[in-house]
């Protein structure tokens, strides 16, 4: 039922399309919208990949401001409320002589989200404007941000542990603040942005010489 693909040429040039879910390929002309093997939806490239990536990226850029400016946790101690932003939390870790932990939290909750947004934006721009950057380097940059992306959830897990441990009412409690929700939105939208980006576009944008 399938024509065998010739190695060393791209699928799109041979009129073939790959099913991302089952990993099999089929002729685009014969099965334009449905994979003949697993019956899932199929297309030569992810549909509207760049638009979706940009939409999620812009959302994450908007939410990164409240995430960093508003308090992420409130500590209630003897009836007094102490707010903590992401950055002040890191500073207090440095003050209490834990530079290693401070570095982990700094990388996971500040460096990773910013780096991810910038790197994805650069890759998306270079694909759109045919900048002809080295495709392999772009792909490895994408792999890196895809892999480190999930580590920014770290801060949310830490908050959940803190909330569970400190639950002594007015004597000693921790509550999540507005920034916790904004930060969650940032993490989710950057994950979705990376998921919606089709890395094959990097190669499509290369002008053949």
Partner 1 sequence: MKTIICRHCDMVSHVPNMPSGYVAKCIRCESVIYKNSWCSPSGMLALCLAALIIIVPAFYFPLISIHLLGITEGTNLLQGALMMIDNAPVVAFVVLFCAVIAPTLLISSIALSSACLTFNYHPAYLPKILKITYILKHWSMLEVYMVSLMVAIFKLMNYADLYFGVGFYFFIALLLLNLTIISNYSNHSYWERYINE
Q: Are strands 80-84 and 167-168 parallel, antiparallel or unpaired?
A: unpaired
Shortest distance, position 176 Cβ to partner 1, whole Å? 4
What CA–CA distance (Å, rounded) separates 133 from 77? Answer: 54
Q: Which of 5, 55, 76, 107 binds partner 1 (CB under 8 A)?
A: 5
Does 29 contact partner 1 by CB under 8 A? no
Nearer to partner 1 by Cβ, of 6 and 129: the residue is: 6
- Give, in degrees to the nearest 5, the angle at Cα 98 between 97 and 100: 140
Does 23 contact partner 1 by CB under 8 A? yes
Site string for partner 1, 153-172 (x = CB under 8 A): xxxxxxxxxxxxxxxx--xx
Site string for partner 1, 34-73 (x = CB under 8 A): ---xxxx---------------------------------
What CA–CA distance (Å, rounded) separates 25 from 137? Answer: 26
Least Cα distance to 55 among 192, 201, 185 occurs for 192
Q: Write out the binding residues for partner 1, residues 105-124 only, by CB under 8 A.
A: 105
Does 94 contact partner 1 by CB under 8 A? no
What CA–CA distance (Å, rounded) separates 48 from 26? Answer: 21
Mapping DSSP to helix (H, G, I), strand (E, B) and coil, where does residue 75 land? strand
Nearer to partner 1 by Cβ, of 81 and 171: the residue is: 171
Yes or no: say if 113 and 187 are a contact pair by the CB < 8 Å rule.
Answer: yes
What CA–CA distance (Å, rounded) separates 146 from 199? Answer: 11
Rule CB under 8 A: which residues touch partner 1?
4-12, 14, 16, 18, 20-25, 37-40, 93, 96, 98, 101, 104-105, 135-136, 139, 143, 150-151, 153-168, 171-172, 175-176, 180-181, 184-185, 187-188, 191, 195, 199-200, 202-204
């Amino acid at each position: 039922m399938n024509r065998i693909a010739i190695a060393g040429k791209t699928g799109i040039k041979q009129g073939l399309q790959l099913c991302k879910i089952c990993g099999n390929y089929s002729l685009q002309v014969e099965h334009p919208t449905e994979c003949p093997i697993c019956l899932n939806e199929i297309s030569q490239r992810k549909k509207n990949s760049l638009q979706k990536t940009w939409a999620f990226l812009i959302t994450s850029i908007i939410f990164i401001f409240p995430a960093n400016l508003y308090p992420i946790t409130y500590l209630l101690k003897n009836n007094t409320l102490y707010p903590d932003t992401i950055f002040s939390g890191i500073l207090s870790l440095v003050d209490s002589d834990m530079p290693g932990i401070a570095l982990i939290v700094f990388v996971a909750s500040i460096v990773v989200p910013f780096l991810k947004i910038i790197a994805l934006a650069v890759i998306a721009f270079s694909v759109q404007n045919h900048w002809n950057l080295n495709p392999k380097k772009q792909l490895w940059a994408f792999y890196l941000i895809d892999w480190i992306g999930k580590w920014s959830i770290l801060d949310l897990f830490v908050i959940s542990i803190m909330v569970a441990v400190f639950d002594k009412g007015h004597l000693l409690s921790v509550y999540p603040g507005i920034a916790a929700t904004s930060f969650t939105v940032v993490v989710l939208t950057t994950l979705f942005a990376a998921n919606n980006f089709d890395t094959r576009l990097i190669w499509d944008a290369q002008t053949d010489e």
